[in-house]
Structure 1
Amino acid sequence: MDQPTVGILHPGSMGAAVAACAAANASEVLWCEAGRSTASAGRAAEFSLTPVAALPALLERSDIVISLCPPAAAEDLARDVAGHRFDGVYVEANAISPQRTQRIAALLEPDATVVDGGVVGSPPIRGKTPTLYLSGPVAAVARIEALFASTAVVTRTLGTEVGKASALKLSYASYQKTSRVLVALAVGMAREHGVDQELIEVASRRTDSYLAEPEYVAKAAARAWRWGPELEETADTLAAAGLPPELLRAAASTLARWYDVKDDSELTLTDALDRLAQP
């Protein structure tokens, strides 16, 4: 099979790194400059992605489009793509509910073939090997598996039903991200009473406890602008399944206190806890 041309929407920290892996088995990886930030442009340049001026040009040239953007933008982005009658394979790889994924598939079909994707893990740089879970039509899923063959992105197929990959992603996120939020609350409460070091000492006896990694709270704070909407999506998924969504909504509300420190790599644990206590 000829190497496909791939379009990435858009080159964020995850999207740019995933696109760079796809480049190993693609003839070219494109990104759209229109409306993107200087940070996006910098990441695209770092990973040697090919710029195009506008979305129509990217869609016209791409055989496969991968959507990796903030959850809140996923549906509008798909609507824009559908408006241009894209007829290739569209990988909906955002952290959104199965219901939204299915709505996006309905927007894009029958012109495009939609593959549901869910990335679990960190961006594939510096030895990290995230897993891209896939579900959807067999032939289209096989093309995505081939696209990432022998790269740092490991693919796993969950079946033919669009929505399965999204469900797995949000099921994992409901534990992983909420656990990080609970660490922040636990350490913050202990600090208020002067026992935070003792709490960490207790937790360090259990190496599988997030409480043994309080330094990660600052990273969680810097990522809150993405994690909050993702937990809202997870809460919607729980509610649709007849399960109580309140814990996830509360965790999202907690993360909202950190929205003003978006991607702040200099944030310390003390800064993050201060902002949590005094938003």
Structure 2
Amino acid sequence: MPQQPAVGILHPGSMGAAVAACAKTHASAVLWCTEERSTASAARAEQFGLQPVATLHELLNRADMVISLCPPAAAEDLAAEVASHGFGGWYVDANAINPERMRRIEALLTPHAKAVIDGGVVGSPPVGGKSPTLYLSGPTAATERVEALFTGTAVRTKTLGSEIGKASALKLAYASFQKTSRVLVALSIGVAREHGVDQELIDIASQRTDSYLAEPEYIAKTAARAWRWGPEMEEVADTLEAAGLPPEMLRAAASTLARWTDAKDDSELTLTDALNQLAQP
């Protein structure tokens, strides 16, 4: 790989576009594929100065490294599509998927790829002073290349070892608490509101430190992200089940999040709107 590699991002969502923008610091180019992408994706890519290419085939031909950041449900199919083109570079799967799926993705790409790197992003997109951590696992030489790509940027990196699946496991272990707890807040506030005691509940929670119950305004943000978080909770549930642990709580969280499907990326959604949607089957 050249000292300044060409990097392809699949696909520039809110996290992917911001991470790709950080990669520009040490990349000769950061490419994205316009094929079948939305106007919102195009706007984000333009905002962050990513270079458009017409097809996935062109992106893979030009890129030395590909970073996959997409909805969890699409990660394996996307990797299979990349594999079908015989991609021969470094493939970083930074999606919120369970370790078994990550190992299947590695198997799909290994025949041609130089290396497959397992990744997991913990934190908010790297904009406005925020600095998420990209956890990595995989072959040492390969993870070092990813670390070098983000050196000195808002994306911090930490390598967990050479075993594929470690980064995915850490991401899902964190998400299982962080995201399910937000769902529980919505249910708690919702039932309290039904009985006219929601402010009293918030007052109680405010007396404690670091209580999500004291942050009801975050419910609307949770609703807007539910389309991504729901499939992620299913991935966590699969991981729990594979470990012999009960998955039902996470599947219930995914089912609850599904009630907010129509709120996808709605930045204007209010707390009242979110709770009303939650109360509808």
Tell me the amino acid that sits aligned with residue 83 of structure 2: A
Q: Shift of the alpha carbon at 1:76?
A: 0.6
1:157 aligns with one of 159, 162, 175: 159
Could you say which residue in structure 2 is the equivalent of 1:197?
199
> Helix, strand or coil for the counterpart of 1:2?
coil
**TM-score when normalising by structure 1:** 0.99
Could you say which residue in structure 2 is the equivalent of 1:72?
73
> Helix, strand or coil for the counterpart of 1:198?
helix
User: Map of 1:196-235 to 2, 5 A cutoff?
Assistant: 196-235=198-237
Give me the whole-angstrom Cα distance separating, in 1, the residues matched to 2:134 and 2:111.
24
Q: Shift of the alpha carbon at 1:110?
A: 2.8
Give me the whole-angstrom Cα distance separating, in 1, the residues matched to 2:236 and 2:267.
26
Give me the whole-angstrom Cα distance separating, in 1, the residues matched to 2:131 and 2:49.
20
User: Map of 1:17-28 to 2, 5 A cutoff?
Assistant: 17-28=18-29
Could you say which residue in structure 2 is the equivalent of 1:120?
122
Tell me the amino acid that sits aligned with residue 147 of structure 2: E
- The yes-or-no answer on 1:146 pairing with 2:148 is yes
Q: How many residues of Structure 1 are paired with residues of Structure 2 in the alignment? A: 279
Give me the whole-angstrom Cα distance separating, in 1, the residues matched to 2:273 and 2:58.
44
Could you say which residue in structure 1 is the equivalent of 2:178?
176
Give me the whole-angstrom Cα distance separating, in 2, the residues matched to 1:2 and 1:93.
22
Give me the whole-angstrom Cα distance separating, in 2, the residues matched to 1:2 and 1:91.
18
Q: Shift of the alpha carbon at 1:80?
A: 0.5
Could you say which residue in structure 2 is the equivalent of 1:275?
277
Q: Shift of the alpha carbon at 1:19?
A: 0.1
Give me the whole-angstrom Cα distance separating, in 2, the residues matched to 1:242 and 1:53.
45
**Alpha-carbon displacement from aligned partner over 1:27-56 (angstroms, at most 9, x marks no partner):** 100000000000000000000000000001
Give me the whole-angstrom Cα distance separating, in 1, the residues matched to 2:77 and 2:3.
31
Could you say which residue in structure 1 is the equivalent of 2:50?
49
Tell me the amino acid that sits aligned with residue 97 of structure 1: N
**Alpha-carbon displacement from aligned partner over 1:123-149 (angstroms, at most 9, x marks no partner):** 000000000000000000000000000
> Helix, strand or coil for the counterpart of 1:267?
coil
**TM-score when normalising by structure 2:** 0.98
Give me the whole-angstrom Cα distance separating, in 2, the residues matched to 1:43 and 1:266.
18
Tell me the amino acid that sits aligned with residue 12 of structure 1: G
Tell me the amino acid that sits aligned with residue 197 of structure 1: Q
Could you say which residue in structure 1 is the equivalent of 2:61?
60
- Runs of 5+ in structure 1 lacking a partner? none
Give me the whole-angstrom Cα distance separating, in 2, the residues matched to 1:206 and 1:47.
40
- The yes-or-no answer on 1:29 pairing with 2:25 is no
Tell me the amino acid that sits aligned with residue 234 of structure 1: V
Give me the whole-angstrom Cα distance separating, in 1, the residues matched to 2:153 and 2:137.
19
Tell me the amino acid that sits aligned with residue 250 of structure 1: A
Could you say which residue in structure 2 is the equivalent of 1:106?
107
- Displaced runs of 4 or more, over 3 A: none
> Helix, strand or coil for the counterpart of 1:90?
strand
Q: Shift of the alpha carbon at 1:111?
A: 1.2
Percent of aligned pairs with the same residue?
76
Could you say which residue in structure 2 is the equivalent of 1:93?
94
Tell me the amino acid that sits aligned with residue 178 of structure 2: Q
Tell me the amino acid that sits aligned with residue 187 of structure 1: I
- Runs of 5+ in structure 2 lacking a partner? none
Give me the whole-angstrom Cα distance separating, in 2, the residues matched to 1:141 and 1:95.
18
**Alpha-carbon displacement from aligned partner over 1:137-195 (angstroms, at most 9, x marks no partner):** 00000000000000000000000001000000000000000000000000001111110
> Helix, strand or coil for the counterpart of 1:223?
helix
Tell me the amino acid that sits aligned with residue 147 of structure 1: L
Could you say which residue in structure 2 is the equivalent of 1:238?
240
Q: Shift of the alpha carbon at 1:207?
A: 2.6
